[in-house]
Amino acid sequence: MKSIYNSNWIEPGYDLGDKVCVFSKKFDLNGTVSRAELQITSFGVYEAHINGKRVGDFILAPGWTNYRKRLQFQTYDIAELIGSNNEISVSVGRGWLMHYKDDLSAALIASVEIYYDNGEKEIIYTDDSWTVGLSKIQYSNIYNGDIYDASFVDESPCFATIKDMDKKMLIEQQGEKIVEVEKLPVKKIFSTPQGDICIDFGQNMTGYVEFNICGKKGEQAVIYHAETLDADGNFYTANLRSAKQEIRFICDGRLHTYKPIHSFQGFRYIKLENWSDEIKAENFKAIVVHSDIKRTGYFECSDELVNKLYSNIIWGQRGNFLDVPTDCPQRDERLGWTGDAQVFIRTAALNFDVNKFFEKWLSDLSSCQNADGGVPHVIPDLQWRDDSSSGWADAAVICPWQLYLTYGNKKVLARQFDSMCKWVNYIKNHSNNYLWDTGKHFADWLCLDENDSSKKHATPVELISTAFFAYSTSLLIKSGNVLGIDMSEYEALLSNIRQAYRKAFIDKYGRVNCNTQTGCALTIYFNLSPDKQAAAKQLNSLVKECGHLKTGFLGTPYLLHALSENGYAQTAYDLLLRREYPSWLYSVTMGATTIWEHWDSLKPDGTMWSTGMNSFNHYAYGAVGDWIFSVAAGINIDEASPGFRHIIFKPATDSRLSFVKAGILTKYGEVKSSWRKEGRLIEYSFTVPHPCTATVYVGGEAKIVSGGTYKFKEEI
Ligand code: BGC
């Protein structure tokens, strides 16, 4: 057993609130060290130093899990950092603990294991011989930012108090650490019409600003963060709601380099106030921070706006994969909304290797699941005690299945299987005659069915809920089959749900009776109409009639697939390539550098959708990335041989694009697909990593190939 389990929880002995404290301990070594290890974690977020040097590079450690049951500890090799006389100091701020009201408070637990050359071993535990004092960071809050006083020194640190608390929740690091990934230089320094001095970093992002400051002693310099400017070009923070996102630096007249260590911001622009130093670009850098996920997917085509859309999808993911898949990184939310995560996971898993990231989040999901199988809206759970929502709670089934498809991860299916069953059983227990017609749901959130920019929806909630009931049950059956479990009970359930669905929502011609894009897309993609072609024809007409999409969070991911899989690829391309509102490219033409929460977060006249709920960094609509890879570039996973062991290449070309190329780094090597128009010919190229096989669909024929690169030509 790891020695941290024998250590003690220690706390400051007073309510820390949003203050930051520093725990310290001096220790000497009695010989030559062969190995030294620090095991550590905290309630709150910590940053550890030994002899003034940073331990590891995990930002906002220990990350965010279901703290009541699961708290990750980290293990660091510290042999290089220690000598004969040492001091370890650990700064602890509140971090995500702010969501836990009064039931959890800031605390630290650690053990330093030292192995000497002579075979002896020494362990230093956190206990009441550690001291604790207040940090120069006088205030730190994830939503609000920091107050740092450069001249503050705590003259009277005291001894830490041992906290009587069990260690059952301690688990080894399961997810990815959060790291600094990139530093963006200043793009522009400018004054707004209101006279504010602002800096543009050119990219909406998540992280913080590192800056050099001298200032005058006692002066409080402030940095405000914003995602966008308003219609008049002024600094705009109304969409942050109560989140302040400010860094207040109280100067001591000496030069400092500062960056937050216990908070982060969502921003592209900063505004400087009380800045007596000359404002020079080289004194400011924006540091991009996210989970240490490896980029795997690349895409490029002949349309620069589509390329920018793809870049915005990537930035949307980078901005919201901060240990937990969050809805947004800027306003007073930044939560692990289940719906957003399930909507985006297919795209997310192509862009980056998110296997470990989601394994950890899914472990939190099952640990937060209610006894009746209900799944909270956000994971980690904030104990809101609401009904579980269709399309949101279904993340319990959709996400593990996606990790199986993209990465061939069978273990995660086995680990989550109970949770998946519990979720489907929950729906069964809340449905009447196989129709899920109870509870409160977010439905097709932010769709455009009834009137523009409305949260209302014309697709009946019961249709959406029952469609997801069927879909989750079908994925559960597939998962059970992979695991060799008898699923006949769920097969019977699925057949009953389908029948009930057809009776309630499909007319005698196989058409969806609510006549909405989302109604059709879900029916088609979830295989719920007895006549898929009839529903697809209906969907195609609906899109053609109004000329644009009307779908919200739940319909959007399936809309283009439902069209292109049934002979309407051209209509799907019409939607993808449309530039006017509402469309994916509209935000690009408006200068977006990330994906917006609403189709019109920023309206054509530069005004805002609203102040209340208007994020400029919300990945949900970026779910189209999956269609871009699987249809435009034609790279598909074969369910029967997942993880790209067998690949299905089936690109759909379009006359408005002259080339498309994409690559996905899989565990077997890089899968590549491209096509290019040369006069009346289309030239295709497909690369299959060596242990893999593929089926290539070109010119109406299917060919089976093994590892290698293959070129084909087709006449238009
Ligand atoms: C979040 C969403 C989330 C929704 C629930 C919002 O406040 O930002 O993305 O899914 O609430 O409908």
Q: Domain-by-domain residue ranges, the chain?
A: 3-172, 178-291, 297-632, 646-715
Instruction: Report which of residues 17 and 390 the model is more confident about.
Output: 390
Contacts of 267 (CB under 8 A, 6+ apart): 201, 204, 205, 225, 226, 227, 245, 286, 330
- Indicate which atom in ligand 1 lies nearest the CA of residue 338: 10
Largest CA distance in the chain: 85
Nearest-CA residue for ligand 1 atom 8 is 327
Residue 194, pLDDT above cutoff 60: yes
Q: Does residue 456 surpass a pLDDT of 80? A: no
Residue 391 tokens, joined:
């399309």
Q: Is 135 exposed, middle or buried (0-12, 13-18, 19+ CB in 10 A)?
A: buried
Beta carbons of 494 and 470 less than 8 angstroms apart: yes
CA angle 450, 451, 455 (to 5 degrees): 75
Q: Residues enclosing ligand 1, CB less than 6 A?
A: 327-328, 333, 337, 339-340, 442, 445, 613
Q: Is the pLDDT of residue 136 over 70?
A: yes
Q: What separation in Å is there between the alpha carbon of 392 and the centre of ligand 1?
A: 10
Q: Give nearest CA residue, ligand 1 atom 4.
A: 337
Here the tokens at position 269 are 């622009």
Instruction: Please state, in angstroms and rounded to a whole number, the distance separating the CA atoms of residues 543 and 558.
Output: 14
Active site residue 597: yes
Query: Cβ contacts of residue 191 below 8 Å, gap of 6+?
Result: 197, 198
| Nearest atom, ligand 1, residue 339 CA | 10
Cα separation, 199 vs 190, whole angstroms: 6
158-172 per-residue burial string, b: 16 or more CB within 10 A, e: under 16? eebbbbeeeeebbbe
User: How far, in Å, is the centroid of ligand 1 from the Cα of 337?
Assistant: 7
What percentage of the chain exceeds 90 in pLDDT?
A: 94
Q: Name the residue with the closest Cα to ligand 1, atom 9.
A: 327
Q: Which atom of ligand 1 is nearest to the CA of 328?
A: 8
What's the fold here for domain 178-291? Jelly Rolls (2.60.120)
d(CA 187, CA 699): 47
Same fold, 3-172 and 178-291: yes
CA distances from 240 to 18, 193, 330, 595, 605 (A): 19, 21, 6, 16, 21
pLDDT, average across residues 279-293: 98
Amino acid identity, position 686: F
> Under a CB-based contact definition with an 8 Å cutoff, are residues 103 and 165 in contact?
no
Chain segment 146-164, per-residue pLDDT in tens:
999 999 999 999 999 999 9
**Is pLDDT of 606 > 90?**
no
Looking at every residue in the chain, the average pLDDT score rounds to 96
Average pLDDT over residues 458-467: 96
State residue 102's pLDDT score.
72
Q: Which is the catalytic residue, given 227, 333, 462, 565?
A: 333
pLDDT at 103: 76
Global confidence as pTM: 0.97
Report d(CA 190, CA 128) in Å as an integer: 52
Q: How far is the CA of 336 from the centre of ligand 1 (A)?
A: 10
Tell whether the model's pLDDT for residue 63 goes beyond 80.
Answer: yes
- Identify the residue whose C-alpha is closest to ligand 1 atom 5: 442
**Range 297-632 classified under CATH 3.40.50.12710:** no
Ligand 1 centre and the CA of 350: distance in Å? 23
300-342: per-residue pLDDT in tens? Answer: 999 999 999 999 999 999 999 999 999 999 999 999 999 999 9
Q: What would the DSSP string read from start to end of 216-259?
A: -TT-EEEEEEESEE-TTS-EE-GGGTT---EEEEE--SS-EEE-
Q: Between the CA of residue 233 and those of 149, 191, 195, what are the distances in Å?
A: 32, 9, 11
Report how far ligand 1's centroid is from the alpha carbon of 326 (Å): 10
Determine the pLDDT at residue 325: 98
Residue 453 has pLDDT above 70, yes or no: no
Give the model's confidence band at 501: pLDDT under 50 very low, under 70 low, under 90 confident, else very high.
very high
Q: At 268, which amino acid appears?
A: R
CA distance linking residue 550 with residue 255, whole number of Å: 54
Question: In the chain, what are the helix, strand and coil shares in percent, each to the nearest 5?
Answer: 30, 30, 40
Which of the residue ranges 149-158, 298-307, 406-415, 604-613 would you say has the lowest mean pLDDT?
Answer: 604-613
Active-site residue, from 47, 176, 462, 597: 597
Q: Environment class of residue 179 by beta-carbon count within 10 Å: exposed (0-12), middle (13-18) or buried (19+)? A: middle
Q: Which atom of ligand 1 is nearest to the CA of 337?
A: 10
Per the annotation, the verdict on 113 as an active-site residue is: no
* 132 three-class SS: strand
Tell me whether the omega of the peptide bond preceding residue 193 falls within 30 degrees of 0, making it cis.
Answer: no
Whose C-alpha lies nearest to ligand 1, atom 2?
327
C-alpha to C-alpha distance for 373 and 421, rounded to whole angstroms: 8
**Residue 455 pLDDT > 80, yes or no?**
no
Residue 294 burial by Cβ neighbours in a 10 Å radius (0-12, 13-18, 19+): exposed
**Ligand 1 pocket mutation pick from 340, 598, 613, 618 by most atoms within 8 angstroms of CB:** 340
Atom of ligand 1 at shortest range from CA of 442: 12
Question: Which residues face 178 on adjacent strands?
Answer: 291
Measure the CA–CA gap between 332 and 694, rounded to whole angstroms. 46
Q: What is the pLDDT of residue 416?
A: 98
Domain covering 3-172 assigned CATH 2.60.120.260 in the classification = yes
Classify the phi-psi angles of 676: left when phi > 0, otherwise alpha if psi is within -120 to 50, otherwise beta: beta
Confidence band of 571 (pLDDT split at 50, 70, 90) = very high
Q: Which atom of ligand 1 is nearest to the CA of 618?
A: 9
**Cβ-based burial of 691 (10 A; exposed 0-12, middle 13-18, buried ≥19):** exposed
- Which of 324, 327, 389 is the pocket-test mutation for ligand 1 (most atoms within 8 Å of CB)? 327
pLDDT band at 457 (very low <50, low <70, confident <90, very high): confident
443: CA distance to ligand 1 center in Å? 11
CA 665 distance to own-chain centroid? 20
Residue 451 has pLDDT above 80, yes or no: no
Q: What is the mean pLDDT of residues 398-407?
A: 98
* Residue from 106, 65, 103 nearest 381 by CA: 65
Distance 334 CA to ligand 1 centre (A): 10
For residues 674, 677, 681 and 686, what is the CA-based torsion angle, rounded to 10 degrees? 0
Beta bridge partners of 683: 676, 713
Q: How far is the CA of 377 from the centre of ligand 1 (A)?
A: 9
Look at residue 513 in the predicted model and tell me its pLDDT: 95
- Name the class of domain 646-715: mainly beta
673's CB contacts (< 8 A; 6+ apart) are 633, 634, 635, 649, 651, 660, 661, 662, 663, 684, 685, 686, 687
